[in-house]
Chain A
Amino acid sequence: MEYLRTYIDRGWWFAFFFIMYVILLVKVSTQGYLDDNAFFSIYSLFIVGYIFSRFILSYLHRKVETDDSYEPTVAFVVPAKNEEDNIYETLKRFSEIDYPLSKVEVIAINDGSDDGTLSEMERAARDIGRSVGRVEVVNWEVNRGKRHGMAEGVKRASSDIVIFIDSDSFIEPDCVRHLVKYFVDPEIGAVSGHTDVYNRDTNLLTQMQALRYYVAFKVYKAAESIFGIVTCCPGCCSAYRKAYLDEFIDAWLHQKFLGTECTFGDDRSLTNFMLRRYRAAYSAEAKAHTVVPDAFPKYAKQQLRWKKSWIRETCIAASFIWRKNLLAALFFYGYIFLAFASPIVFLHAMVWSPVFSHIMPFVYLMGLFLMLMLHGLYYRAYVGKQPWVKAVFSFWFFTVILMWQLPWALITITDTRWGTR
């Protein structure tokens, strides 16, 4: 039975490489038609080059061994607003981790909740207070925003490492050890953990996000991590070196972009501040789980916020990333081109060509689908039996729909309202 399973697993990898081969085949065989237009031809080559490079680089990502002699003090910072359902569980898990609990500090910030969040925090503080080194619950009557909460946590923390955990995220016991192991290297200022989707089985939307999260971390972050340039250590589970944070925490807190104070994309922006002077890595073994939107309007709003902060922070990172590593910078700038070119390529393939040249978008849609299929097979091969085919189809669907958010985000970049949270 075990023997058979090995072969089935190899089968998935074979399928993965077969899809890769088919993509190359399509590219080679359709290059003739694209030669006429440099823009589309460059896009076509770049997109394949970029995505394939992610898989190859992530494969070459080196594992770092845990070092039991290196046990710095850690502070969990959890800013929360109206999270009475999850906050207790989030905090409770800090007392169950595989780490010397005396070296653990927990700072929970109640950011003007109007539900039972504060009492849940206090209940959790009582329950874990005896086991961990220090617990502090900060209570703000009036909401100030996540960025203020994070900054407050950093300022109140007295540990070497600050770990941000979202109020709807849960960490696994060995998460901390796998996060702190990277800080042995003094160049490292931030480490992103690996976050999977907690409510994966709710519906197709969350299944699709589970696929996206998995590949975004396992492949894309790992590929960035190779150069120590992870461009976003997300708020759901990331560790930062407190000593380095202190250097710029106030500047970050009052960051302005195009004249307005930045109200979201706090994690990406904090990573950016860190990357200017230090490096950031990704730890695939530091596992956490987070709750994702299960309804489309909420998901779309979240994606729009992410895209706005992506545009903002990419502009900023673009100014210094070339000094870090030339190859990584090349991929970074290449990706900017791809992100903005994709709606144009989409319009050209789906509208312009069918109407004016009578060329149906077979090749385009197939190419898009094959690319996502590649991600789907990777997911299937690693994660095991999942409704991955459905996830790939919805990934396909949402990619097409949400492609339009980027130009829209660019237009409305100065609108910094959250919409809803």
Chain B
Amino acid sequence: MYFEFSGRKLGLLLIIGFFMASGLAIYTFVNSATNLTILTEEYLQRQTAYASYWLQFKLPQTPQVAAAAFSGTVTTSALPPTSADGQAYAVPVLVYHGEGDVGTVNMPQRTFVEQMRALKDAGWHTITMQQFTDFMQGTATLPAKSFLLTFDDGRRDTFYAMDPVLKDLGFNAVMFVITGFSLPTSGKDEPINRFYLSRSELSYMVQSGRWELESHGDADHALYDIASLSSTPGNVMTTPGGHFLSNLFWLSDQERIETPQEYAARVADDLDTSKRALQDVFGITVDSFAFPFDDFGQNYINYPGAQAELARIAPSEYSFGFIQASPAKEDFFNYPDPNTFFIKRLEPSASWSGADLLSALEDAGPRQLPYASDSFGSEWNTNWGSTGAKSDGSLALLATSRTTGAIALLSGSSWWTDYTASATADIGEGDFSLLGRYDPANDSFIACTLSNGNLLLQERRRGEQHAVASAPYTRKSGSQRSITLAIQGSAASCSAEGASVSAAVTAPPSGALGVEVWAPRPGLAKADLTHIQASKP
């Protein structure tokens, strides 16, 4: 009714419309070439993450820092290395998964910040993958309190919550990426869903210098239905929740279980695919593999040979295979050894405070000779049976209803080579042994044993145990006994109760100090270790 279709007005509208349309066309063109939208969005998300970190964790600190500066009571962090030469003898590796309050593998950002700050304040610092490799190869040393920080799964929540912390503390970390999820070969540059980091986010991580990318498998971080070996065509019995690397697959097109050769080819192909995907996309070197679900073949359903096969296949593709270790059971530090493939990692619990993590690292770790103790604690790991400190400070060794004995190992001693050790114990029941050069990976050690009036020098090699020398001793009344084991190169000697034996042995070059109690039937053996000492020969 009151339209004005004048040439001037329409012309102006057309001109503006033309500019807008061409502006949009230019944008669309630029965006298709550079993913401008995604990059902008990721940039905004990063800035939000940094701002959120600053608001939550930096701003509340500012008044304290300012007050401390004003009053001149700036607290300096504890001095870093405690070892005599300031060098690291072994390196711990930490592994985290995601950010969050729920789930067993998640950790709230607040807890992560507290744990990392505790390490930073105590003088701990992160190292790069290259430094770690050189250290393990023995071609370079590291200062004490070095650790490698790793994250599994390539999750977005991890990156956005943890990156500000790394940036703030000057730390760097390794992200084990599931290439099948983050870099699917569907032709699109997008992860399978927004739970996982995208190609552009990973690319930013590499460029930031704070993150290194390594492999967490391609198709093997998923669950599969595993057919039982007795399956026949038309009658396939499956168990759900099986792992890619630990089982033989059912070949549905050929209606049979795959052969070990086909298994080996499938596994090798997956390991290679994820490695090449990361190398090709980001132009980096990928030489480490974290076993998905921490399963390196032990959690098989239908293939008991998986563990041995993986131990053969994985090292042909990667230099290191990262697994997880239980700090209560074993020394989770990694000692330099060019032959080491499996790298142990500690997963800090979300319930740990910063101090908890710090003591977990500092109570463990490489120990120096001489060593002496008559009050035992968490530094003694349970290797077998049941072991634990008693209220009087002694270490109780007890066979359980299912074991014939118990073994406790001194954490941080696995790198010891030549040493003389003595132990005093109150023996309740069974044979008592002092163990040296214990190598859990190869189930090998040298033992000095008091057994029914005989003093035995024993050798255990890959699970096979036998006495190399023995001598009778006179049994005294009372249950208190002392025993001494000396190992130097391949010469070992054992003495106790006035008796003494020595012999040449075949033993691992280095290994942990331990104590064992053993009886022929389960549930009987028991002893209390009251004193132990070790020194260089």
Contact indicator B16/A360 (Cβ below 8 Å): no
Q: A59-B9, A59-B13, A360-B48 are in contact. Are A25 and B1 (CB under 8 A)?
A: no
Q: Mark A171-204, 1 if CB is under 8 A from B, else 0.
A: 0000000000000000000000000000000000
B259 located at the interface, meaning its Cβ lies under 8 Å from any Cβ of chain A in the complex: no
B20 located at the interface, meaning its Cβ lies under 8 Å from any Cβ of chain A in the complex: yes
B23 located at the interface, meaning its Cβ lies under 8 Å from any Cβ of chain A in the complex: yes
B1's partner among A24, A226, A358, A362 (CB-CB below 8 A) is A226
Contact indicator B1/A228 (Cβ below 8 Å): yes
A62 located at the interface, meaning its Cβ lies under 8 Å from any Cβ of chain B in the complex: yes
Contact indicator A228/B2 (Cβ below 8 Å): yes
Which residues 16-44 in B have Cβ within 8 Å of A in the complex?
16, 19-20, 23-24, 27-28, 31, 36-37, 44
Nearest B residue to A359 via CB reads B194
**A residues in contact with B48, CB < 8 Å:** 360
**B residues in contact with A228, CB < 8 Å:** 1-2
Contact indicator B24/A25 (Cβ below 8 Å): yes
A20 located at the interface, meaning its Cβ lies under 8 Å from any Cβ of chain B in the complex: yes
Nearest A residue to B44 via CB reads A362
The complex places the Cα of A340 from the Cα of B502 at a distance, in Å, of 93
B70 located at the interface, meaning its Cβ lies under 8 Å from any Cβ of chain A in the complex: no
Contact indicator B2/A226 (Cβ below 8 Å): yes
Q: A20-B20, A24-B20 are in contact. Are A29 and B1 (CB under 8 A)?
A: no
Contact indicator B20/A62 (Cβ below 8 Å): no
**B residues in contact with A25, CB < 8 Å:** 23-24, 27
Which residues 7-31 in A have Cβ within 8 Å of B in the complex?
17, 20-21, 24-25, 28-30
Contact indicator A24/B24 (Cβ below 8 Å): yes
**A residues in contact with B28, CB < 8 Å:** 28
A281's partner among B1, B20, B27, B44 (CB-CB below 8 A) is B1
**A residues in contact with B3, CB < 8 Å:** 60-62, 226
A346 located at the interface, meaning its Cβ lies under 8 Å from any Cβ of chain B in the complex: no
B280 located at the interface, meaning its Cβ lies under 8 Å from any Cβ of chain A in the complex: no
Interface residues of A (CB under 8 A from B): 17, 20-21, 24-25, 28-30, 56, 59-64, 225-228, 279, 281, 358, 360, 362
Contact indicator A60/B4 (Cβ below 8 Å): yes
Tell me how many residues of B have a C-beta within 8 Å of chain A. Answer: 21
B37's partner among A29, A61, A227, A362 (CB-CB below 8 A) is A29
The complex places the Cα of A402 from the Cα of B448 at a distance, in Å, of 84
* Most central of B23, B31, B36 by chain A CB within 10 Å: B23
Q: A25-B24, A28-B27, A29-B37 are in contact. Are A56 and B13 (CB under 8 A)?
A: yes
**A residues in contact with B9, CB < 8 Å:** 59-60
**B residues in contact with A60, CB < 8 Å:** 3-5, 9
The complex places the Cα of A30 from the Cα of B48 at a distance, in Å, of 19
The complex places the Cα of A227 from the Cα of B45 at a distance, in Å, of 46
The complex places the Cα of A62 from the Cα of B20 at a distance, in Å, of 25
Contact indicator A61/B4 (Cβ below 8 Å): yes
Contact indicator B1/A227 (Cβ below 8 Å): yes
8 intermolecular pairs with C-beta atoms under 8 Å apart: A21-B20, A30-B37, A59-B13, A62-B3, A226-B2, A226-B3, A228-B1, A281-B1
The complex places the Cα of A25 from the Cα of B37 at a distance, in Å, of 10
Nearest-CB distance from A325 to chain B (Å)? 8
B2's partner among A17, A225, A358, A362 (CB-CB below 8 A) is A225
Contact indicator B16/A17 (Cβ below 8 Å): yes
Nearest B residue to A282 via CB reads B2
Nearest-CB distance from A30 to chain B (Å)? 8
The complex places the Cα of A228 from the Cα of B3 at a distance, in Å, of 10
**B residues in contact with A17, CB < 8 Å:** 16, 19-20
The complex places the Cα of A281 from the Cα of B45 at a distance, in Å, of 48
Nearest A residue to B31 via CB reads A29
**A residues in contact with B44, CB < 8 Å:** 362
Q: Mark B143-167, 1 if CB is under 8 A from A, else 0.
A: 0000000000000010000000000
The complex places the Cα of A308 from the Cα of B45 at a distance, in Å, of 41
**B residues in contact with A30, CB < 8 Å:** 37
Which residues 24-81 in B have Cβ within 8 Å of A in the complex?
24, 27-28, 31, 36-37, 44-45, 48
The complex places the Cα of A24 from the Cα of B27 at a distance, in Å, of 11
Of all A-B residue pairs in the complex, the 3 with the closest CB atoms, nearest first, are: A62-B4, A228-B1, A29-B37
The complex places the Cα of A292 from the Cα of B23 at a distance, in Å, of 41
Nearest-CB distance from B250 to chain A (Å)? 35
Contact indicator A21/B2 (Cβ below 8 Å): no
Nearest A residue to B16 via CB reads A17
Nearest-CB distance from A17 to chain B (Å)? 6
The complex places the Cα of A358 from the Cα of B52 at a distance, in Å, of 15
Nearest-CB distance from A57 to chain B (Å)? 9
**A residues in contact with B5, CB < 8 Å:** 60
Q: A56-B13, A360-B48 are in contact. Are A61 and B20 (CB under 8 A)?
A: no
* Most central of A25, A226, A227 by chain B CB within 10 Å: A25
The complex places the Cα of A20 from the Cα of B19 at a distance, in Å, of 11
**A residues in contact with B31, CB < 8 Å:** 29
The complex places the Cα of A61 from the Cα of B24 at a distance, in Å, of 27
Nearest-CB distance from B299 to chain A (Å)? 31
**A residues in contact with B16, CB < 8 Å:** 17
Nearest B residue to A25 via CB reads B27
**B residues in contact with A59, CB < 8 Å:** 9, 13
**A residues in contact with B37, CB < 8 Å:** 29-30
The complex places the Cα of A303 from the Cα of B11 at a distance, in Å, of 39
**A residues in contact with B13, CB < 8 Å:** 56, 59
Contact indicator B24/A281 (Cβ below 8 Å): no
Nearest A residue to B156 via CB reads A358
The complex places the Cα of A255 from the Cα of B122 at a distance, in Å, of 80
Nearest-CB distance from B106 to chain A (Å)? 13
**B residues in contact with A29, CB < 8 Å:** 27, 31, 36-37
**B residues in contact with A226, CB < 8 Å:** 1-3
Contact indicator B23/A21 (Cβ below 8 Å): yes
Q: A60-B9, A362-B44 are in contact. Are A28 and B24 (CB under 8 A)?
A: yes
Query: Assuming A28-B28, A225-B1, what are 12 further A-B pairs, CB within 8 angstroms?
Result: A17-B19, A29-B37, A59-B9, A60-B4, A61-B3, A63-B4, A226-B1, A227-B1, A228-B1, A281-B1, A360-B48, A362-B44
